[in-house]
Structure 1
Amino acid sequence: MTRRVVITGIGVRAPGGSGKKEFWDLLTSGRTATRTISFFDPGAFRSRVAAECAFDPAQEGLTPRQVRRMDRATQLAVAAADEAVNDSGLRFDAVPPHRVGVSLGSAVAAATSLEEEYLVLSDSGREWLVDHDHLSPHMFDYLTPGAAAGELAWAVGAEGPVTLVSDGCTSGLDAVGHACELIREGTADVMVAGASDTPITPIVVACFDAIKATTPRNDDPEHASRPFDRTRNGFVLAEGAAVFVLEELEHARRRGARVYVEVTGYATRLNAHHMTGLKPDGREMAEAIRVALDESRVDPTAVDYVNAHGSGTKQNDRHETAAFKRSLGEHARRTPISSIKSMVGHSLGAIGSIELAACALAVEHNVVPPTANLHEPDPECDLDYVPLTAREARVDTVLSVGSGFGGFQSAVVLRRPSAVRW
């Protein structure tokens, strides 16, 4: 008998709000959370806009000791996980701890704390010979990406498989996909899974400046992220986290849990082509979509909504458009597609999970979030990218895709439980 996986809890810490409800309100209103960077003086940089979270660790219930120990990305993950656990109604102390696991995604892990500690250690770069006594005693936690997954495991008492997945910008999809596979194979009954990234630091901003991947539209930050628009010129960097409680379906049924969606399909592929370049035909993304749909046992015509990667770079948006046509055929022209990065920016490894949260909420509310700032559609991106305004529609099956530097291409299919007949 095939073990099936459902989402029973959702927690979100994203730009423009704190929590799942504020996140959904932002998306459905079409408002944007992109602003001029406030975390540091961005004056020296080519791109000076970002989507920052209004996050207060003390208000989230984190103690001063936790704040000192945890990098900002870990803090966001723990806060989102706490919301997801409460949302699920699951008593973790009633589940055998070795049947509970964690799968967390992150692209740049503790980049915030690593940069801060380097500045302290080197006296803002002035010293080559440094004294390690100036370092935080928690430096090892910042250096080791798995520390964030460990914090989540401690928070919920998970003694099963605990993993940190880092596949660039597909990490948030891949972490959830990995968690589902562990449940399906019988290794775990419950997984706390999602992703978190806080890359709004000078060194990360400089890295994307160097390759001109981020937008230089600094005079109009609220409208700087323009996926699929003819005038798009790069993505807007962001931070955030989303975490889910995933359960084996019968485990959730036995306790009478509310189920948001079933995760019915997942696949990932690599283009083995270029670190940042994408082939124009979208073949690898299309292949990931095909396999995820096959695993879901649904025809492409069953897809009601596609949550696009939609980064707002010229290359990515053309690549995705080709991939949707290749994988969905003529149905691609009838399917609403949108990019929430137009509103909450691109939080690197975290965004895949944040987008999955949006997909699950789209199923719950039968609403497709819009692509903000899409005023002049690119003729090469000639599909229905739901411009400006949210759209009411029956949403039973959702496809969410991600594309990451290094050539990673991933796809996840979510379905309304009542629509699944296996």
Structure 2
Amino acid sequence: MNRQVAITGIGVVAPGGVGKKAFWDLLVSGRTATRTLSFFDPSPFRSQIAAEVDFAPERHGLTPREIRRLDRAAQFAVVSARECLADSGLEFAELRPERTGVSVGSAVGGTTTLEREYLALSDSGRTWELDAGYISPHLFDAFVPSSLAAEVARVVGAEGPAAVVSTGCTSGLDSLGYARDLIAEGSADVMLAGAADTPISPIAVACFDAIKATSPRNDAPEHASRPFDRTRNGFVLAEGAAMFVLEELGHARARGAHVYGLISGYATRCNAYHMTGLKPDGREMAEAIRHALEEGRTDPASVGYVNAHGSGTKQNDRHETAAFKTALGDHARHVPISSIKSMIGHSLGAIGSIEIAACALALEYGAVPPTANLHEPDPECDLDYVPNEAREVAVDTVLSVGSGFGGFQSAMVLAREPRQESAA
């Protein structure tokens, strides 16, 4: 794979603000978007907090028909895809549609629509016999996750490879990795890639309650997500999306595109161990990091910022700290590391792409987002986790990692575009 892949457009729908500017402003301010859950009555649940997106679809160009037809996750994907297209400056009418593809990640697909329709059909669970006459004509699109890729493809008329990648909480990294590989191997010139998830629903909240993965710090929702803090007690459920325009670097340069960075390395591994458990040594994550760095011919000591998975669960943060020490060696103690989940929560399959947006913007603006709510560092998490305040750091190389149920461990490396040699 000798074709380099550039990020030339970014679109974000995230808690705290829609659009990449609002997203970045929130991160560097260190503000949190976690709050008491408002989408439904949270009182029956152990964890009553979430990072919700204030999203009015009509304000973002969706028509009444699109609003009725599209699941909330698909709405997020379409809106962020339109933003990244505008940001890239691409004229898709001038592209070869068969060389343009789509890759979208999602962990739970059309959960919002599926739960809403089930409640209507079953009279809120009071009847087992469902009357098919009440079924929405658009229910199939929510039931089949592949509809996410189809909707994004329609935005631009992309007729090349189209796929949904669903690998739990690493979906947003893996969808980008798949898109990068298609361009690098020559199967596509341009890809719209990213992820979307809207899991804030009673069924999802109940599932995470059952395994006590989410924080019950209901009295202080804005301070509930505390990655790497000694007092952390679980993650905060969230929703969101991020989409990107990825291009072969020569293609981007030929049209004078602005390049946020190159995806120089990517790797994914599985621990083949436990559905939700993690080995404390972090070996599989370390292996993914090592391979991603090697693929990009990147010296570990050149990594200027690490965007951590940083979910805020006891086992994840220990596991991740061990992985950084193994993969980066002594450099792990000197590189700034942070978790933006402390501010925008954990949007499951979408978060990996949202974190890559943060990484690309860190390269762009020379700043590292903080880990909010980090006031009592855990002695077992003894690295530089950038507590509470953003830090100005000019970086050329960024590492982002993800960890997901099922044992998935993924790593991606972004690098600044190398300077072009001027003609003699």
Kindly provide the CA deviation profile for residues 287-309 of structure 1, in whole angstroms up to 9, marking residues without a partner as x. Answer: 00000000010110010000000
Structure 1 stretch 82-91 or stretch 411-420: which is displaced more? 411-420
Look up the match of 2:98. 98
CA distance in 2, matches of 1:132, 1:102: 33
Give the equivalent residue in structure 2 for 1:194. Answer: 194
CA distance in 1, matches of 2:276, 2:303: 29
Matched AA of 1:12? V
| Pairs within 5 Å for 1:137-216 | 137-216=137-216
2:378 is matched with which residue? 378
Structure 2 CA distance for aligned equivalents of residues 130 and 387 of structure 1: 52
C-alpha distance in 1, partners of 2:77/2:399? Answer: 24
Q: What's the CA shift string for 1:34-76, capped at 9, x where partnerless?
A: 0000000000000000000011110011111111111000000
> How many Å separate the matches in 1 of 2:291 and 2:419?
19
Tell me which residue corresponds to 2:59: 59
**What displacement does 1:420 show?**
9.8
Aligned equivalents of 2:148 and 2:393: distance in 1?
38
Matched residue, 1:329: 329
After superposition, the C-alpha distances for 1:351-403 in whole angstroms (9 at most, x for unaligned) are 00000000000000010000000000000000000000000011110000000
Q: State the SS of the aligned residue for 1:417.
A: coil
Structure 1 runs of 4+ with >3 Å offset:
none
CA distance in 2, matches of 1:95, 1:379: 53
Aligned-partner Cα distance in 2 for 1:64–1:34? 29
Secondary structure of the residue aligned to 1:418 is: coil
Name the CA shift for 1:420/1:396 in 2 (closer, same or farther; >3 Å): farther
CA distance in 1, matches of 2:157, 2:13: 22
Distance 1:70 1:287 in 2: 39
Matched AA of 2:149: A
Q: Aligned residue for 2:257?
A: 257
* Partner in structure 2 of residue 136 of structure 1: 136
1:8-40 CA deviation, whole Å, 9 max, x = no partner? Answer: 000000000110000000000000000000000
Q: 1:2 is matched with which residue?
A: 2
Unaligned runs of 5+ in 2: none
For residues 190-231 of structure 1, what are the alpha-carbon distances to aligned partners after superposition, in whole Å with 9 as ceiling and x for unaligned? 000000000000000000000000000000000000000000
In structure 2, what is the equivalent of residue 282 of structure 1? 282
Q: Secondary structure at the match of 2:257?
A: coil
Number of aligned positions between the proteins: 421
1:130 CA drift (Å):
1.1
* Paired AA for residue 294 in structure 2: D
Counterpart CA distance in 1 for 2:87 and 2:81 is 10
- Which secondary structure state, in structure 2, belongs to the residue aligned with residue 23 of structure 1? helix
**Does structure 2 retain, via aligned residues, the 8 Å contact 1:400–1:413?**
yes
Please show how residues 283-302 of structure 1 align to structure 2 within 5 Å: 283-302=283-302
SS of 1:259's partner is coil
After TM superposition, the structure 1 = structure 2 runs for residues 402-417 of structure 1, keeping only pairs within 5 Å, are 402-417=402-417
- TM-score between the two structures when normalised by the length of structure 1: 0.99
- 1:100-142, CA deviations, whole angstroms, 9 ceiling, x for partnerless residues? 0000000000000000000011011011111111110011101
Q: Secondary structure at the match of 1:399?
A: strand
Seq. identity, %:
72
Contact kept? 1:396, 1:419, Cα under 8 Å = no
Contact 1:333 1:383 in 2 (8 A): yes
- Conserved 8 A contact 1:307-1:400: yes
How much does 1:418 deviate? 2.5
Structure 1: how far apart are the matches of 2:44 and 2:124? 16
SS in 2 for 1:112: helix
Distance 1:382 1:2 in 2: 38
Whichever residue aligns with residue 233 of structure 1, its letter is: N
1:240 match:
240
Letter in 1 for 2:48: R
Matched residue SS, 1:264: strand
Q: Which amino acid is the alignment partner of residue 67 of structure 1?
A: I
Please provide the CA RMSD for this pair. Answer: 0.9
Say which SS state the counterpart of residue 243 (structure 1) adopts: strand
2:23 maps to: 23
The equivalent residue for 1:86 is 86
Name the CA distance, whole Å, in 2 between partners of 1:30 and 1:177.
29
What is residue 360 of structure 2 aligned with on the other side? 360
The alignment status of 1:112 with 2:112, answered yes or no, reads: yes
Per the alignment, residue 41 of structure 2 pairs with 41
For residues 133 and 63 of structure 1, the distance between their equivalents in structure 2, rounded to whole angstroms, comes to 26
The AA in structure 2 aligned to 1:219 is D
- In 1, the alpha carbon distance for the partners of 2:379 and 2:333 equals 14
Letter of the 1:21 counterpart: K
Q: What's the CA shift for 1:83?
A: 0.3
- What secondary structure is seen at the aligned counterpart in 1 of 2:86? helix
Q: For residues 275 and 46 of structure 1, what CA distance do their matches in structure 2 show?
A: 22
Question: Equivalent residue for 1:268?
Answer: 268
Aligned in 2, Cα 1:420/1:196: closer, same or farther, shift over 3 Å? farther
- For 1:391 and 1:381, the matched residues in 2 are separated by 19
SS in 1 for 2:386: coil
After TM superposition, give the deviation of residue 419 of structure 1 in Å: 6.9
Matches of 1:282 and 1:102 in 2, distance apart?
32
Aligned-partner residue type, residue 61 of structure 1: G
Structure 1: distance between partners of 2:127 and 2:239: 30
State the partner residue of 2:369.
369
* Paired amino acid for 2:245: V
| Structure 1 gap segments, 5+ residues each | none
Structure 2 CA distance for aligned equivalents of residues 416 and 185 of structure 1: 21
Cα distance in 2 for partners of 1:418, 1:373 equals 36
